[in-house]
Every structure is written in structure tokens, then in C-alpha cells.
Amino acid sequence: MSSIEEIYHEAKSDKWFQGFALFCRIVLAASFFPTGLVKVMGERFAEGLPSNNPLGHYFDALYLTGYYYTFIGIAQIIIAVLILIPRTSFMGVLMYFPVIVNICVLTYATRFAGTRANTMLLLGCLFLLLWNYDRLKYLLPFKQPKTDPPVIKKPLGIRLRIIFFGGSIAILTFIIIGTFYLWEIGPGNSEAECRNQCFGSKNPVACEEFCDCIYKDGRPLDSCLAAFNKKKNIHIHYKPRY
């Protein structure tokens, strides 16, 4: 058995890591169960998100798909229940992973303000996939050598706990702070939120026109971003003549 697998099995037997795995399972299940229930009940998801918001366009279209909308809700509830049950948690995590990747790409593409939370959910899912490496490895297209049952020679050192949980906090801090500087401008979750960013903007006029483009004209995000960049560049390169 490699040293990495020895560390893995030691971590699996450690109460701190077991508690963190349980925490991740609860959070992932909690993220899908209520959102799935909303769809099953036939209500629009993210009711407070305006229809002219780029993600609001998507939710409106999804809401109008009829029983497909209900199907997504049922699938989310099933995944949440599977993750909570210890015997089926691995299956639930496998089903959760492609869905949360799709959600993450969607929120980043539409510059949704909730990208931080979705990114954290994706990281939690990745941790649970690694946590179930003893099962996951048999699904990988690699030949797995036969190994004897692991024998834990010594308890997990506190250094590894500090490295893991300290690294986790550092990653979360990077995500929270880094996403503030990810985009120069975004539609926000409402027209008021969009306009609030214009006060500290280097190009307030271009910013206001961007918000008008999104919430008054209802144009696509790419079109509004192109108009914003064009207006911004004109402002930068313009030199008054005296």
C-alpha cells in the first residue's frame, strides 16, 4: 500500500475528518432538497430574481418546460435523500457531481452573485468523492491491484489536520475575496444591486447604460457587455481638445 493510501485510511478512521464528511453530506443535501421541492410544487425557482436578469431568463424558460421542470425537482430530492443515507451516500455524491458542475458553469457564465456558494458546494462534493476513494477507484479505467485490508499503525497526526483544515480555510478565503475581483461589472441580483456598483465605478455612465441594457431593454448579457466595453473604451481614448 502506498503512503498516500495509508494517509487516506488514517483520515477515514479519524473523528475530525468523519465529522467534516458528515457536515458536507448534510450541506449538499440541504442545498438540493428545498430547491427540488420548489420545482415539484410547481413554483418558480428564485422568485426574487427579476426576469430580465440573465439567470432570470434561464429560470423563466426552465419554469415553462412543464413536467421536465418537475422531473429536475424530483431528481434533486432523490439525490439529497441518497446523500443523507450512509449506505447510498456514495451514489448520491456521484449523481450530485455533474449537476453541481453544470450549476457552477451556469452561474459563472451569467455572472450570478451566488457563484461563491455554488463553488463551495462543488468543493464539498469533490471532498466527498475523495472520501469515497476506496469505492471510486473501482469505477476508474485503471487496473486495481489486490491489497490487504488496511492496518492503522498509528493515529492521524495533528499536523495533517492543521494542513487540511487550514488549507480549506485558505481556499474559502480566496474564493470569497477573489470573486469580488472576478468581473469588472455584473448584473447583480436586482436592478438596484446593479446600479449600486456604478457609484464606485471608473466609468459610471457606461455602468448605468449597462444596467439599463439588462433591466430596461432586457437584452442578452453578452450584448450588454459588448456595449459596456465599447462605451468604456471610447471614454478611455477620448481626449478633449482645447
Q: Are residues 17 and 125 in the same domain?
A: yes
Based on the domain organization, do 19 and 69 belong to the same domain?
A: yes
Mean pLDDT of 14-29: 94
Q: Does residue 150 form part of some domain?
A: no
Q: What is the pLDDT of residue 156?
A: 62
Based on the domain organization, do 7 and 52 belong to the same domain?
yes
Burial 170-192 (b: 16+ CB within 10 A, else e): eeeeebeeeeeeeeebbbbbbbe
Are 223 and 163 members of one domain? no
Domain count, the chain: 2
Please indicate whether residue 124 or residue 199 has the higher confidence score (pLDDT): 124
Average pLDDT, the chain: 87
Range of the domain at 44: 3-138+155-181
When pLDDT is averaged across residues 140-167 and rounded to a whole number, the result is 71
CA distances from 74 to 33, 41, 57, 80, 85 (A): 9, 10, 22, 10, 17
Within a domain: 143:
no
Q: 94 pLDDT exceeds 50?
A: yes
pLDDT tier at 237, thresholds 50, 70, 90: very low
pLDDT of residue 155: 59
